[in-house]
Structure 1
Amino acid sequence: MKIQQKQSMKVFIYHHLKEAILARQLPPGKQLIENEISRTLNISRTPIRNAINLLADEGLVDIVPNKGAFVTNPTKEEILQAYDLRKRLEIMAANQAIEFLVENDFKKMESYIAEEKEALFTKNITNYLKANQDFHMSYTQKCGNKFLIDFVKKLINQTSIYLILFDIVFEEDPSAEPYGYKEHLEIVQLLKQKKRKELKVCLENHFDNAIDSLNIHQEYKDLKEIFKTY
């Protein structure tokens, strides 16, 4: 029973912290102080540490030896480097995949775009990230280069964290109209038509727009508030 209780508490803390990060209630760089959470919930630090380790495995938290755990806080230069490399690799992958895509691949892409559009307008970031990744990987996986596929997937996971932290589409601002799914529709058409030059330009613009949509300003909460309803 005690093991089950520890497990459920770990999951409880993990979900609360993750939801707070996804909802941008905890700012990038915020330290997750185990003692503070322990006092708030009146529990030991073990399930807290285990929950934080899960978040670190997902890239949402950085654990710094002798300092503690912090909500990941990438520099502007790191973000630009990640997007620039992803742009270059995805253009390469799309160019190699273009001869191997068939009608069923395009149908899958269009279904992912429909899921993405729904998630954007309902501001469901979890569903959006999955649909977005599925879309980009749908043509990347047809490039035939295992290493290129692995690198692109890793960069998608990394840049997804930047979307979670900074993309203005997921702020509660009705004036921020979703746009990404429209660009994905254009990518599909260019892949169908095998227009390599136009596709390269489209993908370049797509990633440049993604960078432009990142912004850093948000109302944040104190760590104790995340668990105040417990």
Structure 2
Amino acid sequence: MSEKKSLKQSVYTTLKDAILARKLPPGKQIVENVISESLNISRTPIRSAIDLLAADGLVEIIPNKGAFVINPSLDEVLQAYELRKELEIMAVQKSLDSLAETDFAGMEKIVTLEKEALYSKDLRTYVKANESFHLAITKRSGNIFLNEFIEKLINQTSIYLILFDIFFEENSPQPYGYKEHLEIVELMREKNVEALKKTLERHFDNAIKSLDVQTDYEELDEIFK
């Protein structure tokens, strides 16, 4: 690996870890000069690292202003979750006749991993498990366009979990999302469409309510020390 690529990867990893660990707040500007001075390197690998973060959806690049940690408005968050809720309910209903016991058993294994991650406050593992659980359901819908839209929304709302989910704060309440996932699995087994729809609606409404993080943050130059 060339020195330039190595520097780019190092800056990218440090910034990404800081965002995932909630050391940098939503809306924080990623100032290239600050990083350049902290590491005594040129701005080229820093700019490349920021481009990678933008591709991940963690940073927004605004022309003539700079790069900022993504900072969605409450309205944007609500719109994303509302659309995801409607599409996933549709996908679940289309998936019911295609789901087998092996699918349900696989989902329950994912929930076990999710529960462990929640209680150990392992944010990355939790987010991945949460994504895997929902995709395991929707992939059976048989509609490639529906799956594509849902996957995009899951990726977007996962960023909101990373930035705002209260269950990863020090004094957080006891997590319950994994219990709702188990309830969803059981209702799918039973093919109880009406109860399943209501449970999914409640699940997404609760997910929105959990996005209210207030935490301590660090300055940009501090994360490179």
Shorter-chain TM-score bucket reads over 0.9
Say yes or no: does 1:71 pair with 2:50: no
Q: Distance in 1 between matches of 2:78 and 2:13?
A: 29
Shift in Å, 1:150: 0.4
Q: Distance in 2 between matches of 1:101 and 1:182?
A: 20
Q: Distance in 2 between matches of 1:195 and 1:94?
A: 11
Residue 141 of structure 1: SS of its match in structure 2? Answer: helix
TM alignment of 1:112-131, pairs within 5 A: 112-131=110-129
TM-score normalised to structure 2 length: 0.98
Residue 29 of structure 2: SS of its match in structure 1? Answer: coil
Residue 68 of structure 2: SS of its match in structure 1? Answer: strand
Say yes or no: does 1:202 pair with 2:199: yes
TM alignment of 1:19-98, pairs within 5 A: 19-98=17-96
Letter in 1 for 2:202: N
- Of all paired residues, the percent bearing the same amino acid is 60
Letter in 2 for 1:40: S
User: Aligned match of 2:7 in 6, 9, 13?
Assistant: 9
TM alignment of 1:215-226, pairs within 5 A: 215-226=212-223
Unaligned runs of 5+ in 1: none
Say yes or no: does 1:136 pair with 2:126: no
Residue 67 of structure 2: SS of its match in structure 1? Answer: strand
Letter in 1 for 2:85: K
Aligned positions, number: 225
Q: Distance in 1 between matches of 2:45 and 2:112?
A: 39
Task: Tell me the equivalent position of 1:158.
Answer: 156
TM alignment of 1:180-195, pairs within 5 A: 180-195=177-192
CA deviation profile, 1:174-220 (whole Å, cap 9, x unmatched): x4211110000000000000000000000000000000001131111
Letter in 2 for 1:194: K
Letter in 2 for 1:115: L
Q: Distance in 2 between matches of 1:171 and 1:11?
A: 28
Residue 47 of structure 1: SS of its match in structure 2? Answer: helix
Shift in Å, 1:88: 0.3
Unaligned runs of 5+ in 2: none
Q: Distance in 2 between matches of 1:121 and 1:210?
A: 17
After the TM superposition, which of the residue ranges 83-92 and 114-123 deviates more from structure 2?
114-123
Residue 62 of structure 1: SS of its match in structure 2? Answer: strand
TM-score normalised to structure 1 length: 0.96
Shift in Å, 1:4: 1.3
Residue 174 of structure 2: SS of its match in structure 1? Answer: coil
CA deviation profile, 1:125-147 (whole Å, cap 9, x unmatched): 11111111110000100000000
Q: 4+ runs of 1 displaced by more than 2 Å? A: none
Report if aligned partners of 2:36, 2:42 keep a CA contact under 8 Å in 1. yes
Shift in Å, 1:7: 1.1
When the two chains are superposed, the root-mean-square deviation of aligned CA atoms in Å is 0.8
Q: Distance in 2 between matches of 1:182 and 1:90?
A: 18
Shift in Å, 1:60: 0.2
Shift in Å, 1:55: 0.5
Letter in 2 for 1:205: R
Q: Distance in 1 between matches of 2:224 and 2:109?
A: 38
Letter in 2 for 1:152: I
